[in-house]
């Protein structure tokens, strides 16, 4: 009986007037006061209202068909993202080829669907801020036009097949969820202005069928399922379907609570090991967490909060992510909208300090941002270790080194154990390429290859998708030392990397041990002008035939038995690598794709043929005097 009373009470909060899933009436009033007293909030509100005015005049009609996977929108040959000439013409910025037809045209349709869903949300908010009925009417018309069409859209996946996992307005349940969430918000914001027949039409012919389509595709602990949970949970809250809310939050295999308990490491990093997908998961989680809070359900746990701590712990000095695994991750400042809500809910000073370094020009800042935030640095100055996730950042006043040694990261993981990313003299040097659109061969051939990363490849093969482990970690006032191993990524080969950072120097010892002879390739990628102390001679062709080697071009080579150096110059910054002598060392330089495939980045490959060998390298950063 007590549980029933509590359920009725929480549902009454959800159904109460003034609860709009995204915000409630109290939050809207607070946002209005902020806009009147804070210039940044006033600018955001004006942008929102101007956008709503434009939407009254210029929005396209609801498309007659569903869209396609945005990862198709790249040149299959160059991997570069296409430039939109028109809705039916799509040009490669590298080779100039103009593509027409599907899937490229259908990606433009996908964009229209997302534009309309976001416009419906913004129109609903503009109505609540101004009381102008035309805003509500235009949002309602988007909703009813979708209700007219949604059931008739064929289900299709990214290959055009009618299979579970496909969608209707988009090509996968992930994208359908991202599209549906703003529509659920829009409906909550304007439904009081709609008659009963229109409300039933939107609920029964748009929101609930879309939620059911998303529900039939069941996943486990994954960023996609987090988006699906939010979409289904919001539809449940706005339509009063408790079973949908329970499924989205409480399902023991895939609900919100399970995602937090099993998807977030004890270090606060999302298990897929990419800060890009870490942010993407954070974006997926908050719509349900905030809508649940307005319905009297508290999902703001300490474990959830730790997701906001990990990006701060792993940031490079300029706020960038190291870029490990799929999706390079971007800069901390680009995630500021997420931290507006986090600071409002938890009050953690570090979140507020991040906001103080931004213009606070986001909708999230208007709706939830606190008027005053603390000042101060946002990136740690001390070395940090995430032992469960298997990431570390070694820091000195002159140099920062990020290391990936532990968990693989599932489908978004890369075969790059013991990979390092370095930053010094004010810029990134050791480069992790991240990823590009998944629909092009170059993503698989280069960005998911071992040789594309700053680690060791064995016999020109890819590392196995296995975890590494931490062997040693020590931090003193003078230096940070890390040792990590990856003994299972190549059969019969033990790989151990020991890093010692002191000041502007990194001592890098990479041991390769086996009972059989192998070819060991130590690789390093960095932007800038690459020179060496060796007499390099041009070599025809690529460095190898496959596993990424085919994408290293403009190859030059040398052989040395002595100590030697390689140097990257970028502006006034210099990185020099000093290599200890080892007889029979082969050295290759070349150019390979960077984070933008149209940009080629110098790569250094140091090759040894042996049963066992150790690469002894000193990395040193400096700033040249003018």
Strand 391-395 and strand 399-404: the pairing is antiparallel
Please give the structure tokens belonging to residue 16.
């109460």
- pLDDT at position 4 is 40
pTM: 0.94
Q: What is the DSSP string of 507-566?
A: EEEEEEEESS-EEEEEEEE-SSEEEESS--EE-SS-S-SSTTGGG-EEEEEEEESS-EEE
Q: For 346-373, what is each residue's pLDDT tens digit? A: 999 999 999 999 999 999 999 999 999 9
Rounded Cα distance, 226 and 418, in Å: 30
Do 202 and 144 meet the contact criterion of CB atoms below 8 Å apart? yes
- pLDDT at position 10 is 42
For the chain, how many helices (H) and strands (E)? 17, 22
The rounded mean pLDDT for the chain is 95
Phi, psi (degrees; rounded to nearest 5) at 565: -140, 160
First to last CA, the chain: 79
Assign 3-class secondary structure to 290-342: HHHHHCCCCCCCHHHHHHHHHHHHHCCCCCECCCCCCCCCCEHHHHHHHHHHH
Kindly indicate the confidence band of residue 7, based on its pLDDT and cuts at 50, 70 and 90: very low
Do 368 and 355 meet the contact criterion of CB atoms below 8 Å apart? no
**Domain contains 394:** yes
CATH code: domain of residue 616: 2.70.98.70
**Could you tell me the residue range of the domain that residue 132 belongs to?**
21-60+113-211
- Burial class from Cβ neighbours inside 10 Å (0-12, 13-18, 19+) for residue 324 reads buried
- pLDDT at position 597 is 93
Q: For 221-263, what is each residue's pLDDT tens digit? A: 999 999 999 999 999 999 999 999 999 999 999 999 999 999 9
Rounded Cα distance, 364 and 361, in Å: 8
Give the Å distances, CA to CA, from 295 to 10, 29, 241, 260, 292. 6, 19, 13, 20, 5
Looking at the predicted structure, is the pLDDT value of residue 107 above 90?
A: yes
Kindly indicate the confidence band of residue 16, based on its pLDDT and cuts at 50, 70 and 90: low
173-190 and 208-216 helices, crossing angle to 10°: 150
**Domain contains 281:** no
CA dihedral 264, 444, 513, 506 (to 10 degrees): -70
Kindly indicate the confidence band of residue 48, based on its pLDDT and cuts at 50, 70 and 90: very high
Please give the structure tokens belonging to residue 617.
């390298």
Looking at the predicted structure, is the pLDDT value of residue 15 above 50?
A: no
Q: For 124-183, what is each residue's pLDDT tens digit? A: 999 999 999 999 999 999 999 999 999 999 999 999 999 999 999 999 999 999 999 999
Please give the structure tokens belonging to residue 415.
């075969």
C-alpha R_g of the chain: 26
Among the listed residues 85, 84, 88, 87, the one whose alpha carbon sits nearest the alpha carbon of residue 101: 88
Among 195, 211, 227, the domain-final residue is 211
**Domain contains 355:** no
CATH code: domain of residue 137: 1.50.10.100
Alpha carbon 297 to its chain centroid, in Å, reads 28
Work out the average pLDDT over 460-482. 97
Work out the average pLDDT over 388-404. 97
**Domain contains 168:** yes
- pLDDT at position 354 is 98
Among 147, 180, 211, the domain-final residue is 211
- pLDDT at position 625 is 72
Kindly indicate the confidence band of residue 3, based on its pLDDT and cuts at 50, 70 and 90: very low
- pLDDT at position 25 is 95
- Region label for 160, one of left (φ > 0), alpha (ψ between -120 and 50) or beta (otherwise): left
Among 163, 194, 211, the domain-final residue is 211
Strand 553-560 and strand 537-538: the pairing is antiparallel
Looking at the predicted structure, is the pLDDT value of residue 13 above 50?
A: no
**Domain contains 292:** no
| % residues pLDDT > 90 (the chain) | 96
- pLDDT at position 329 is 84
Do 550 and 544 meet the contact criterion of CB atoms below 8 Å apart? yes
How many domains, in total, are found in the chain?
Answer: 2
Looking at the predicted structure, is the pLDDT value of residue 343 above 70?
A: yes
Strand 613-623 and strand 505-514: the pairing is antiparallel
Rounded Cα distance, 125 and 188, in Å: 10
- pLDDT at position 356 is 97
- pLDDT at position 624 is 82
Kindly indicate the confidence band of residue 2, based on its pLDDT and cuts at 50, 70 and 90: very low
Strand order in the sheet with 529-532: 469-475, 480-486, 493-502, 505-514, 613-623, 573-579, 564-570, 529-532
Among the listed residues 486, 455, 409, the one whose alpha carbon sits nearest the alpha carbon of residue 548: 455
- pLDDT at position 514 is 98
**Domain contains 93:** no
Q: For 509-540, what is each residue's pLDDT tens digit? A: 999 999 999 999 999 999 999 999 999 999 99
Sign of the alpha-carbon torsion through 227, 229, 232, 234: negative
- pLDDT at position 6 is 39
**Domain contains 438:** yes
**Domain contains 509:** yes
């Amino acid at each position: 009986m007590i549980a029933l009373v509590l359920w009725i009470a929480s549902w009454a909060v959800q159904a109460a007037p003034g609860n709009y899933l995204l915000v409630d009436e109290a939050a809207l009033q607070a946002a209005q006061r902020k806009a009147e007293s804070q210039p940044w909030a006033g600018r955001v509100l004006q942008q929102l209202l101007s956008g709503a005015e434009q939407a009254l005049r210029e929005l396209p009609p609801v498309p007659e068909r569903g869209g396609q996977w945005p990862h198709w929108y790249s040149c299959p040959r160059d991997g570069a993202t296409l430039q939109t000439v028109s809705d039916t013409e799509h040009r490669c910025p590298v080779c100039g080829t103009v593509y027409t037809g599907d899937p490229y045209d259908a990606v433009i349709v996908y964009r229209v669907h997302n534009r309309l869903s976001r416009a419906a949300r913004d129109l609903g908010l503009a109505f609540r801020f101004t009381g102008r009925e035309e805003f509500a009417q235009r949002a309602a018309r988007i909703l009813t036009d979708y209700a007219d069409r949604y059931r008739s859209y064929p289900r299709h996946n990214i290959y055009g097949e009618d299979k579970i996992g496909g969608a209707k307005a988009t090509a996968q349940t992930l994208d359908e969820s991202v599209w549906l969430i703003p529509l659920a918000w829009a409906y909550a914001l304007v439904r009081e202005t709609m008659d009963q027949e229109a409300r039933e039409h939107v609920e029964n012919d748009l929101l609930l069928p879309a939620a059911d389509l998303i529900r039939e595709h069941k996943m486990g602990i994954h960023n996609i399922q987090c988006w699906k949970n939010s979409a289904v949970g919001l539809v449940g809250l706005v339509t009063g379907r408790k079973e949908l809310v329970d499924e989205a939050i409480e399902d023991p295999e895939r609900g919100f609570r399970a995602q937090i308990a099993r998807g977030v490491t004890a270090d606060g990093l999302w298990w897929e090991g990419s800060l890009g997908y870490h942010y993407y998961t954070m974006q997926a989680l908050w719509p349900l967490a905030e809508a649940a809070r307005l319905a009297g359900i508290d999902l703001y746990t300490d474990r959830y909060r730790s997701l906001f701590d990990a990006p701060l712990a792993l940031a490079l000095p300029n706020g960038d992510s190291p870029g490990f695994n799929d999706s390079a991750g971007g800069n901390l400042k680009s995630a500021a909208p997420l931290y507006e809500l986090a600071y409002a809910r938890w009050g953690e000073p570090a979140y507020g300090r991040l906001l103080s370094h931004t213009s606070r020009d986001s909708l999230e800042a208007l709706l939830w941002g606190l008027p005053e935030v603390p000042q101060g640095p946002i990136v740690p100055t001390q070395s940090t270790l995430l032992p469960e996730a298997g990431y570390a950042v070694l820091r000195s006043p002159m140099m920062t080194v990020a290391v990936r040694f532990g968990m693989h990261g599932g489908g978004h993981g890369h075969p790059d154990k013991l990979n390092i990313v370095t930053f010094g003299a004010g810029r990134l040097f050791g480069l992790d390429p991240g990823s590009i659109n998944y629909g092009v061969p170059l993503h698989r051939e280069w960005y998911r290859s071992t040789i594309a990363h700053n680690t060791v490849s064995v016999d020109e093969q890819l590392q196995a998708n296995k975890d590494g482990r931490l062997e040693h970690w020590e931090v003193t006032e003078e230096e940070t030392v890390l040792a990590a191993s990856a003994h299972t990524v190549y059969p019969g080969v033990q790989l151990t990397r020991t890093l010692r950072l002191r000041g502007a120097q990194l001592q890098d010892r990479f041991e390769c041990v086996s009972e059989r002879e192998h070819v060991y390739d130590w690789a390093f990628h960095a932007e800038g002008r690459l020179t060496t102390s060796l007499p390099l001679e041009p070599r025809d062709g690529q460095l190898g035939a496959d596993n990424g080697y085919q994408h290293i071009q403009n190859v030059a080579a040398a052989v040395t038995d002595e100590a030697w150096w390689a140097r990257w110059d970028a502006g006034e910054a210099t990185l020099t690598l000093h290599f200890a002598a080892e007889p029979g060392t082969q050295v290759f330089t070349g150019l390979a794709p960077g984070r933008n495939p149209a940009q080629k980045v110098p790569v250094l490959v140091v090759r040894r043929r042996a049963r066992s060998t150790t690469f002894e390298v000193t990395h040193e950063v400096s700033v040249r005097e003018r």
